[in-house]
Amino acid sequence: MSARGRLEARFRRAADSARAACGKLPQWPELRIPEPLLASMETAAALDGGAPPEELASYYCEKMPALLVELLADAAFAPLYHQPIDRARWPRLAAALDGLYAALAAAGLDPAPLVGAPSAAALLAARPSPAALYAGTLFASGLPLTGAYPADRARLVREINDPGSVIPEINDRGSVIAARVDLRLSGNLVHELCHGPADAAAGGAPWIVVEAAALHLGAAARAAHVFPDEPGEAVPGVARFVAIGDALAARFGEAALWRVLYRVPLAETFPPPIAAALEVAAWQDWLRRRHAPFARDAEAAQAWIKLACGAAPIAAGDGAESAARHPELLAAAARTPWSALAWWHEEPSSADGARVERAVRALGQVNRLAPLFETAPSEPPGGRITLDVAECRLRAAPRPDGVFGEPADWWFPPPLARRLHERGARGIVVENVTRARSAAAASVLTELSLASGPLAAETVLRSP
């Protein structure tokens, strides 16, 4: 039996076993492995000599279908999952859907093929509940909705039934329920919409680029779904994917980045040598770490960004099958100084100020495990952020309760860093930084970068 056949058979056995244990389920699309995942596992099998890697097969063909069936059979959660969506009671989802359609339209992309309807109103008319919204998306046939795993569902049910969780400004129970579900699920629902429809074919981009594109689009739709103002509203642990997406969009344009979500081959939207390097590096990363995709995969965001800027070019057309023939591309990219890359030598862009503001805002959050894994707003420790000029890296000190992604960091526009470096600066400290004053701190940094005159190697600024 082929690798594809073995994977599909294993998935069916797990899904059938879970269904038999749970009994009758609500109506749902046919349970199957989403095609992009199946195609990726076939490639992984080919790289492993033909056998599907157990690390992926057990996760996507056993654990995920069992969790999906368990979600569908959860009687306590079902009234929340299948409740009608009222835009007035779901302000986060309403804002994000409007933002999603506006962002795609502004980029010259037709939202309907990706999102499944020509407008937010038409989408909610056709798919009027959280379950219906998710059911029409790419991964719904084989994976549970992120944010609705067992512990997440239990917390949401507790919050709604706990009298102590009453929201003071909301009186009726229906509005309280909607507000809680809107808080916990909206970012994840919009993220799944960004991945495209259920019938999407296997795409032409590596997983990390697809995830960066989807999360970047979600952040464009509603920034708080990545950079939260309230614990629980963000897709957890994904900011560094957005950092990669921001850099790719800065180099190649938002439309080029988001077209990968429409399954356009990466080599048709990015320069072919860059597309090849990203694909080969992604498979090298898999062969080195051998685990199912997770948020930690973006921990090397700076290396991925440098790779996309040409740090380790390879021949256009090379793909997964050539991964073993090349040196470790991510390691080579990480070693490459920014000063060796073209972006460093370019002139500042009118968009760089907004990029610095995003970078500063990104430092005002923490990934934590208590009570569950989530991203929460967090002031920069000590009210201080630092810029390593040569590394184009802006960061805050690590939080004691952070579980990964610490210390929080983000890339700084290389042309601005070059101007600082040319004037003598090697490190910049900005004091008096808070989440509320992130725009002011960004403005101070940008103005210093665009000014003239010599600077001390270590310069201290104070945000107004």
Q: What is the pLDDT of residues 330-349, one digit of tens each?
A: 999 999 999 999 999 999 99
pLDDT tens sequence across 174-202: 788 899 999 999 999 999 999 999 988 77
pLDDT for 199 = 87
pLDDT band at 162 (very low <50, low <70, confident <90, very high): confident
Mean per-residue pLDDT, 430-456: 97
Beta-carbon contacts of 7 under 8 Å, excluding residues fewer than 6 positions away, are 33, 38, 41, 42, 52, 57, 60, 61
The confidence band for 148, taking pLDDT boundaries of 50, 70 and 90, is very high
For residue 168, what pLDDT is reported? 54
Q: What pLDDT sits at residue 228?
A: 97
Confidence of residue 291 (pLDDT cuts 50, 70, 90): confident
Residue 36 is predicted with a pLDDT of 92
Provide the pLDDT confidence category of residue 164 given band limits of 50, 70 and 90: low
- Average pLDDT of 305-319? 93
Interval 400-413 mean pLDDT: 91
Average pLDDT over residues 417-428: 98
**Local confidence band at 417 (pLDDT 50, 70, 90 cut-offs):** very high
Rounded (10°) CA dihedral 150, 155, 158, 159 = -150
Q: Which of 243-252, 286-295, 314-323, 439-448 has the lowest mean pLDDT?
A: 286-295
Mean pLDDT of all residues in 271-289:
95
How many residues are given for the chain?
464
Average pLDDT for 252-275: 96
What is the overall mean pLDDT for the chain? 94
Instruction: Name the band, by pLDDT with cuts 50, 70 and 90, for residue 405.
Output: confident
Compute the distance between CA of residue 137 and CA of residue 140 in angstroms, rounded to an integer: 6
- Place 169 in a pLDDT band, splitting at 50, 70 and 90: low
Q: Residue 54: pLDDT above 60?
A: yes
Please report which confidence band the pLDDT of residue 370 belongs to, taking 50, 70 and 90 as the band edges.
confident
How far apart CA 190 and CA 318 sit, in angstroms, is 33
> Is residue 171 over pLDDT 60?
no
Cβ atoms of 283 and 297 closer than 8 Å:
no
Q: What is the pLDDT of residues 216-252, one digit of tens each?
A: 999 999 999 999 999 989 999 999 999 999 999 999 9
Structure tokens at 356: 């610095």
Domains of the chain by residue range: 3-73, 201-336, 344-462
The rounded distance, in Å, linking the Cα atoms of 264 and 274 is: 15
Residue 197 buriedness (CB in 10 A; 0-12 / 13-18 / 19+): middle
Q: Check whether 115 has a pLDDT greater than 70.
A: yes
